[in-house]
Amino acid sequence: MTKLTLEQMYTAISHDEFDDRHYGAIQIPIYQNSLFAFDTYQQFEHAFEQELGSHIYSRGNNPTVEFLEGKLALLEGADAARCFASGMAAISAAIFSSVKAGDHIVCVSNAYGPARHVMGDYLKRFGVETTFVEGSRHESVQAAVRPNTKLIYLESPSTQMFELIDLEACAKLAKGIGARTIIDNTWATPIFQNPLEFGIDLIVHSITKYISGHSDALGGVVMGSNELMKPLSRDEYMLFGGIMTAHTASLVLRGLRTLPVRMERCQASGLKVASWLEESSPFVERVNHPGLPSHPQYELGKKQLRGYSSLFSFESKQPIELLKAWASKLKLFKIAVSWGGYESLATVGRNTAVNGEVRTIVRVYIGLESPDDLIRDMQETWQEVAASASQDRV
């Protein structure tokens, strides 16, 4: 496993070795076929002897998908990668490869909702139990460990509240009890965080988000050591069939080429908007962004992260319906699930109690638009909505 610097990542993503099989094509072709033929039966049998490394059937290895997997593994510093049809397909494969009946999982409570559903509900039918803990407190993870704990599932920063987990401490804890660690690294991407260097075992990404970057492709990936990836490839990848298609892999490769550039832009824009919301916005009480010095785990973030993406949240004392009206009137933000594309998004979440106060959580994704335009849109729209609400109360 080789760790690349950011500058090395630029070259690794942009430069491909010349391959004379492809007639000098700059981009690897889309191998839009289901099967691969052989000249002799001896070649056919030899391929099956090395099935995971041979091109036999696109449910196993497709050259376009394989090329993408190689690029992703290089960026993450992993021995191997396997691409799936969606982020949830990758997450489910990684989890199923790590537990069996009678095992116990410790999972951070703010992990991605469908992933929590798999561990907290679906796996119960197979005799696997899960304990959900506050991942920002390592002692909570330690306290939840049982003699049969075989997996610690992490997401850092976490969904919605963007809390950090001490990756090195969790990896050390897991190794000490013979358990495995999995982390969802979608928020940071391989550009800004490489969890393998802290001892994490398997990494999953929703390729749908930043890696693809154009809101036009679904995908997921699992990455790790050959020791862990070979059995996952043989079983959960080959048997579940949730593969990525060659056409999708080509779309993702197109987005991957600009990933470092986009992430640097998103980092700068996200921090600018987050800082404005924290310092100047009249309707925000708190901003949850690990790149702000006010974040309670700012120092841990500097240790684990090389940079920050542009998805974060803020808390407001304003009524949830008023914030929904604000989001509905924003001109440069769309209301939609997912994130990581070129378009900015805003979604109004749940009410939560903070020190006895009811607050509304708003998740914001900053895309590639001008951050000054986005700030102006937020500010002017709030003034309009607040004025209208005041008139209604008169």
Q: What digits encode the pLDDT tens for the residues 100-118?
A: 999 999 999 999 999 999 9
Backbone angles phi, psi at 313, to 5 degrees: -135, 165
Residues 149 and 291 in one domain: no
Distance CA 83, CA 186 (A): 14
**Residue 352 above 80 pLDDT?**
no
Residue 393 has a pLDDT of 62
In a domain, residue 302? The reply is yes
Residue 353: pLDDT band (50, 70, 90) is low
In a domain, 1, yes or no: no
Query: Residue 152: pLDDT band by 50, 70, 90 thresholds?
Result: very high
Q: For the chain, what is the mean pLDDT? A: 94
Q: Is the pLDDT of residue 33 over 60?
A: yes
Residues acting as catalytic residues: 59, 112, 184, 209
**pLDDT above 70: residue 219:** yes
Question: Would the pLDDT of 394 be above 60?
Answer: no
The enclosing domain of 163 has a CATH number of: 3.40.640.10
Site of tokens 């696997």: 128
Same domain, yes or no: 223 and 80: yes
Kindly give, in sequence order, each residue whose CB lies less than 8 Å from that of residue 299, ignoring residues fewer than 6 positions away.
none
- 95 lies in a domain? yes
Whether pLDDT at 78 is above 80: yes
Q: What is the mean pLDDT of residues 18-47?
A: 87
Supply the range of the domain harboring residue 280.
260-392
Sign of CA dihedral 134, 174, 200, 60: negative
272 plus 361 within the same structural domain: yes
Q: pLDDT value at position 24?
A: 80
pLDDT more than 90, % of the chain: 84
Q: Which of 195, 223, 255 is the last residue of a domain?
A: 255
Please indicate, yes or no, if residue 29 is contained in any of the structural domains.
yes
